[in-house]
Amino acid sequence: MTLNLAIILPTLNERDNLAPLVARIEQALGADGWEAIIVDDNSDDGTADAARELAHADPRIRVIQRIGRRGLASAAIEGMCATAAPFVAVMDADHQHDPALLPDMLAAVQTGECDIAVASRFAEGGSAAGLDNARREQASGWANRIARRITGVTLSDPMSGFFLIETQRLRQLAPSLSGIGFKILLDILSASNPSLRVREFPLQFAKRLSGESKLDRAVAFEFLVGLYDRSFGRLIPTRFALFGTVGALGVGVHFAVLSMLFLTAGRSFALATIIATFVAMSFNFWLNNWLTYRDRRLRGWAAVTKGWIGFCLTCSVGAFANVAAATLLEARGANWAIAALAGIIIGAVWNYALSSKFVWGRY
């Protein structure tokens, strides 16, 4: 039977979920005409090895193991561009998305009833009962309201991670997709011009079968990052904007610690400045590791300590570049405020470039 549909399964520590999910997909779609592409972000639990074991016995299963890069959206794009099937679906591998919806979703796109079929937790007949708690459900509704304004598409669940689209249409959109964040559907809808015709299918959002959620407390922030990238990312690179924002917060931390030690505790200005500098650099390193470089996050005591030392050394070099540039410009007649601003920008770019390469892996 001719290959008709590819199901893309981005994974991170989903080893025990794979075999049962493949069985459910086969039950929904039959024995032929589909393939499942498992895109694994180098999971610690051996998900890629488990996927290869399945693929060894089942030619419908393919595996992409990504080294040195992470992110649900980018994994979905990579998987969708790797298939020859004319239609492609993206769904989670944790069993919260029901493969039984796939035949009707495929028929709707295949017959031209819609451009993209979306499984919705909030459509009539759907349910979001599988969300971990009420706060996540409330946050999901908040994100949906913002997403509708950004995309201009009326949907009950534009943050859904379960959808089906024609592969050729996706490949045409791929160069315009940011690949940042965890909700690729939002990226696709906002990149499409004209807007895509959408049909929603009610989804009973289930509990995870096993493993832990890939989403952490940084997800809400990452959603905002995705919106920024879609709106302004071509003007100022998103990761650099994040790095600069963290640096600005670090300035606040620096002055808070300096004031506490120098004005309140009566320490010498030199000692207070040294302590404030290291506290601010440590704060910046932690926040950058958690947010700016979330897809390359350093984990484990040894990696974090090495990264912190490297970041402090990098920032020291950046501080020197800042002072040197500002002093040179001021000495040559530039306004002191302009000279200082130029020094700050040069130092920030220097720190960003070196940190990206030597602390978080690659530029």
132 with 276, same domain?
Answer: no
Residue 45 backbone dihedrals phi, psi, to 5 degrees: -90, 5
DSSP conformational letter for 204 = B
Q: Is residue 222 part of a domain?
A: no
Contact 64, 40 (CB under 8 A): yes
- Report how far residue 86's alpha carbon sits from residue 37's, in angstroms, rounded to the nearest whole number: 14
Residue 253, classified by CB atoms within 10 Å of its CB into exposed (0-12), middle (13-18) or buried (19+), is: middle
The answer to whether residue 92 is domain-embedded is yes
Which run of H or of E encompasses 36?
strand 34-40
Please give the radius of gyration of the chain, using alpha carbons only, rounded to the nearest integer: 24
Instruction: Supply the pLDDT for residue 214.
Output: 52
The string of DSSP codes covering 210-254 is SS--S--TTHHHHHHHHHHHHHHTTTS-HHHHHHHHHHHHHHHHH
Q: Do 46 and 186 belong to one domain?
A: yes
- The tokens describing 87, both together, are 């239609």
Nearest to 85, CA basis, from 35, 38, 10, 25 = 35
Q: What is the pTM of this model?
A: 0.73
pLDDT for 59 equals 94
pLDDT score, position 227: 65
Q: What is the reported pLDDT for 290?
A: 84
Asked if residue 127 and residue 39 are part of one domain, the reply reads: yes
On whether both 289 and 346 belong to a single domain, the answer is: yes
Q: Are residues 40 and 81 in the same domain?
A: yes
Based on the fold, state whether residues 254 and 202 are members of the same structural domain.
no
- For residue 21, being part of any structural domain is answered with yes
Confirm whether 363 is domain-assigned. no
- Which of 138-142's residues contact partners 24+ apart within 8 Å by CB, and which partners? 139/220
H/E segment holding residue 124: none
Q: Is the same domain home to 247 and 113? A: no
| Whether residue 107 sits in one domain with residue 175 | yes
pLDDT in tens, 85-111: 999 999 999 899 999 999 999 999 999
User: Which pLDDT value is given to residue 359?
Assistant: 87
Report the SS3 class of residue 37.
strand
Strand order in the sheet with 163-166: 61-65, 34-40, 5-11, 87-90, 163-166, 116-120, 198-202
Q: Which residue type, as a one-letter code, is found at position 136? A: R
Which of residues 165, 187, 217 is at a domain's end?
A: 217
| Domain assignment of residue 280, given as a range | 238-358
- Residue 274 to residue 256: CA distance in whole angstroms: 13
pLDDT value at residue 274: 78
Looking only at the bridges linking them, the beta strands covering 163-166 and 198-202 are unpaired
Q: Are 238 and 229 in contact (CB under 8 A)?
A: yes
Q: Are residues 195 and 287 in the same domain?
A: no
Count of the separate structural domains present in the chain: 2
CA distance 311 to 184: 31
- Whether residue 140 is contained in a domain is answered as yes
User: Is the same domain home to 142 and 245?
Assistant: no
87-90 and 116-120 strand pairing: unpaired
We report the CATH number of the domain holding residue 45 as: 3.90.550.10
Ranges of residues in the chain with a pLDDT under 70 are 130-153, 180-182, 207-224, 226-227, 230-234, 336, 340, 362-363
C-alpha separations of 133 from 112, 200, 207 in Å:
37, 24, 11
Give the pLDDT score at 363: 38
